[in-house]
Amino acid sequence: MASKFQNRLVGTIILVSIGVIVLPDVLDGQKTHYKEETASIPIKPELDSDVETFEVLAPEDDSASLPPTPVEVVIEQSQPEEVATVKVVEKEVPERNQYQESAWIIQLMALKNADNAANVVKDLQKRGYQAHTKLDNGFTRVIIGPDVSKNKLERQIAELEKITGSKGRLLKFKPLNP
């Protein structure tokens, strides 16, 4: 016959298994399900009417009515009761920009590694300098400027030498070939 210990062990196992299987269903009650409410958007809306069409007109050519050179109008009034006379004076427009070579730049350094040049430019921009990079013959040049004040850039050369350790060169800025 089985010993008292074995009977108690079997009874305990049966009670525990009934508790594990049956009690959760009895004590759980009615389950609540959460469902998100979504609305579907139609892929293509149905149109009841035809699509509107517009006619595109060609632009009118007004170049025939304009004079070939700039015109300056001067109105002269000598007396209040007289009718004002209009005098047309043609003004010549200079072909060449008179300020073409008045700006200056500092070429600070030329580096092979473009990442190092970009880091130098970021550091200089944080310090308030107008720094840029320019790719030239496999080198990345670090440039400060352009600025119209040559004296200001000459003072900045000494400051930049303290910051970067390299002495820059002052060059004329050519906007068509920077």
- Per residue in 78-110, pLDDT (tens digit) is 555 555 555 656 666 555 555 555 788 999 899
CA dist., res. 67 & res. 93, Å (int): 14
Q: Which pLDDT score, from 0 to 100, does residue 85 have?
A: 59
pTM value > 0.85: no
In the chain, which residues have pLDDT < 50?
none
Q: Which pLDDT score, from 0 to 100, does residue 151 have?
A: 87
Q: Which pLDDT score, from 0 to 100, does residue 10 have?
A: 94
* Residue spans of beta strands (DSSP E) within the chain: 71-76, 85-90, 104-111, 131-136, 139-147, 169-172
- Tokens 């109105």 belong to 75
CA angle 31, 12, 5 (to 5 degrees): 175
Q: Which pLDDT score, from 0 to 100, does residue 115 have?
A: 92
Q: Identify which of 150, 110, 159 has the alpha carbon closest to the alpha carbon of residue 134.
A: 110
Pairing state of beta strands 71-76 and 169-172? unpaired
CA atoms within 13 A on the CB side of 41: 1
